[in-house]
Amino acid sequence: MCGIHLIWGKGANEEAIDSMLQQSRHRGPDQEGSFSPWPGLWIGVNRLKIIHTGSEADQPFWSPDGSSLLIWKGELYNYQEIRNLLIHMGITFITQSDTEVVLHVLRVFGEKGLSKLSGMFALIFVDLSEKSVLVARDKNGEKPLYYAQNPDTLIVSSECNSIQSLKNSALDTRQLEPYFYLRAPLLGNTFYKGIHEWKPERYSKMLSHTAFHWAHIHSESKNVLEPSFDTFKETLTDAVLNQFHADVPLGIQLSGGADSSLLYALWYQETGTPLPSFTIQVEAKYRKKYADGDSASRFVKQFPSNHQLIEVTQKTFWENWDDYLKSLDQPVGDSAGFLNWMIGKEAKKSVKVLISGAGADELWGGYQRHKAFDVYQKRKDLLLRFQGILGKLPLGRSYQKFISAIDSDPRKTFLNFSGLDNFPDDLTEDYDRIFNRNFPEYRQMLDFDRQVYLVQDVLKIQDNALMAHSIEGRSPYLDASMLDLWRIVKDEELLKGKPWIKQSLRELDLSWISERKKMGFGLPLQEWFAENGEFAKCVFSAIKAFEKTHGEHFPVKMRALAAKPELGVKHHFLTLYNLFLLAEWVKLHKL
């Protein structure tokens, strides 16, 4: 994993690229390089050495004839297969690195070679003979990439803060509304005005910095076996063996839940090799509800691991808060970001790669909102007819949220299920265009989560939190082979409640995990707020100060909650944490 940077046009000089490199040194502390291919263009890279750790694979990586060069970050999981193809075509290799494979694929096939790359990546390929620049990001959005462009200059970087070091942009207050409802800016945007996110599965080949057009990375047609439980198990096992490979120490984030437990169990069953594993452990008084630590400890008795529990209390939260906040490139309203950061802080002492179960819930229907939408589909007419009466019944908060979220439009209903509050109409329009109407209705919702929640929340906090400690994160459930299988599953019942994952666990004598109630991964915020102590006091104070300085830009519901946060403790504790995080980040960056 690395950090990559480009500045092209006015202001492109060595001092500017050095500023960008300095901002993202944590992404690649093992090697650093910069180069100007021609006047007015500078590129730079921070390298984290994972595959072929020798200096022969340092970047920028040049073609043998000196006509092209590559800087990139990520991992290519099919690089051996492509390497063999290129050798058959007469290409000679001087390293065992996937970097050299990527360079030759692009040199031989041009931008069409992007479709051959199976893995996670963001890259910049420079062809000096035709003075062109190719920029691309992987299909899942596992590796972040940002850009800023005006008539004079194009800047591209792995981190917003690297671009911000040159631009000094203001806060984009238009992103406050999507953050309030869905925890992150609108897809393709950031909290910095004029700095945008390069969308997944997009590339652009540019001959000038003044303009570029988007193109999609096409998928190569592959022979995929008929979807079945056996195919699922075989495909996932292959993905595990493939992605657990590295030339540096590797471990796993073990939640004690279904997804990460299955990955490690398959690994151990195939290899018998114990790996380091890391799990968050909350205070004893909260463990009945937040049982990840206890569950993971039980799991490693069946599948041995060098297991480490990382205790998180209010004391450790405040001791680490400032450092965590400084490490944030962009705030995401999810306390799992802090927990991932704490895991990275401890894990960096022994590993440079961490595996996670990211992607399983989004693809295979593991969230409560997927279950709710299934109920909505089956009872839609009845629910709409009696919605008014049902809403008056004195039942619990989750029931009331479900009833109030129902709309005649299934996509609006799913957005309401997904959001921290029911969506206003203007925001619904912004997100509605993301749904792929070529899919059946239920799959549209899973695909929306794949495009939005997975990219904007799960993968972003994983990358930011782990890279802050120079650790690469990997997600085998997002392997290209797994996505190919997912796309051809016709029976939607197989996409509800992760049946194949649970069946795999039962075969491994892990039924107790498959039956474990899903809690989600986050801080015990409800309990911390309920104590009405220092935590609540500090959070309320920061939110109220934020409302006074920026409240005029808040949507109505956000401003009402920010003005009197103590009234939201019972039902809006997640939103309160998100507002606190944003308030602290905005204050830190003086926006």
Structure tokens at 589: 């960056």
Cα–Cα dist 456/164, whole Å: 20
Whether residue 2 lies in the annotated active site: yes
Q: Of 1, 2, 312, 523, which one is the catalytic site residue?
A: 2
| DSSP strand pairing (68-76 vs 61-62) | antiparallel
| CB-count burial class (<10 Å; 0-12, 13-18, 19+) for 589 | middle
Q: What is the largest CA-CA distance in the chain?
A: 75
Sheet strand arrangement including 146-149? 31-38, 41-47, 2-9, 153-157, 146-149, 196-197
Q: Is 280 marked within a binding site? A: yes
Say how far apart CA 561 and CA 564 lie, in whole Å: 5
Q: Which residues of 212-238 are buried (b: 16+ CB within 10 A; e: fewer)?
A: beeeebeeeeeeeeebeeebbbebbbb
Gap between the Cα atoms of 177 and 481, Å rounded? 36
Structural contact between residues 192 and 174, judged by C-beta atoms closer than 8 angstroms: no
- 409 belongs to an annotated ligand binding site: no
> Distance (Å, rounded) from C-alpha 350 to C-alpha 275?
11
Angstrom distances, CA of residue 424 to CA of 20, 372, 413, 571: 38, 20, 12, 19
Rounded CA separation 476/481 (Å): 10
Task: Name the token pair of 239.
Answer: 């993905």
Report the distance separating Cα 122 and Cα 24, nearest Å.
15
Cβ–Cβ < 8 Å for 485, 224 = yes
Interatomic CA distance for residues 209 and 42, integer angstroms: 12
Matching residue, tokens 């869905």: 182
Catalogue the active-site residues. 2
Q: Which residues are annotated as a binding site?
A: 98, 280, 356-357
Q: Which residues are annotated as a binding site for L-glutamine?
A: 98
Q: Which residues are annotated as a binding site for ATP?
A: 280, 356-357
